Amino acid sequence: MSRMEGKVALVSGGAEGIGAAVARAIVAEGGSVMLGDVQLDKAEALARELGDRAAAVALDVRALDQWEAAVAATQARFGKLTVLANIAGISEPGTVTDGPLELWHRTLAINLTGPFYGMRAAIPAMVASGEPCAIVNIGSMIALRPAAFVAAYSASKTGLRGLTQSVALDLAARGLPIRVNMVHPGAIRTPMYERYKFSGADSPENIEANFAATHPMNRIGEPEEVARAVVFLASDEAGFTTGCDFTVDGGGSIRS
């Protein structure tokens, strides 16, 4: 397995969930990975487990200077940066009238401004690498099909979709070999999902059944299924693909 051979990736949210699965898949496919996360201990533990082609750096995606430091740390450790996976994100319920105002600002800061800062910090390093590069932003089924009761999350993910397409067009127009794509997961079995499943909002069995029912394939997805899509889009196999919406949602975004 060598789809990522020679690639050096920076993965935000790499300590657990989808980000951790992406980091594992990149190393398994022959690449190197820098795990950036606010949970540095967990990121470091995963990096140790993955071996010499993995390392960890403290990263709060809300801070541009931390992104710049993470990019510099990646170049210092692995010699270049050729892949950025913007995966860190949060999802908490709240409507436009009853959600805490703080939730709006925090969700936009992490889910939308975070990837903006990530791309701003990474693109100059990618240009400097002189190699074909790729950015993969994690959206959501909700970016294609906004949902009730998650106003900030819906806005952040549809906003990220517009940002992804704008940057893809911009980089292509400038003739830069940097592709920018999106992966849209449905409900995926990660700590984020488990937190909601056991939140007490309903019985865990009902929550699982209700989530599964919003996906025509009638199940929850696994982080490894999302990771495979990210690795494909990050690899040169996807060399003519930019600005795309790649769904990993069991058909959830096209259900009737």
Ligand X SMILES: NC(=O)c1ccc[n+]([C@@H]2O[C@H](COP(=O)([O-])OP(=O)(O)OC[C@H]3O[C@@H](n4cnc5c(N)ncnc54)[C@H](O)[C@@H]3O)[C@@H](O)[C@H]2O)c1
Q: Output 128 or 217, the one with its CB closest to ligand X.
A: 217
Q: Output 131 or 225, the one with its CB closest to ligand X.
A: 225
CB of 176 to ligand X, least distance (A): 25
Q: Which two tokens stand for residue 91?
A: 């999802």
CB of 142 to ligand X, least distance (A): 7
- In the chain, the amino acid numbered 65 is D
- From the list 88, 74, 38, 24, the residue with the least C-alpha distance to 231 is 24
Sheet holding 54-58, edge to edge: 54-58, 32-37, 8-12, 83-86, 133-138, 178-185, 245-248
Q: Output 12 or 32, the one with its CB closest to ligand X.
A: 12
196 tagged catalytic: no
Q: Which two tokens stand for residue 134?
A: 């790729």
The one catalytic residue in 117, 153, 193, 196 is: 153
Q: Which two tokens stand for residue 225?
A: 């299924």
CB of 156 to ligand X, least distance (A): 8
Residues at the site binding ligand X, with contacts judged by CB under 6 A: 12-13, 15-19, 37-39, 59-62, 87-91, 110, 138, 140, 185, 187-188, 190-193
Q: Output 16 or 236, the one with its CB closest to ligand X.
A: 16
Q: Report the alpha-carbon distance of residue 105 to residue 103 in Å, rounded.
A: 6
Q: Which two tokens stand for residue 231?
A: 């690795």
CB of 111 to ligand X, least distance (A): 6
Active-site positions? 153
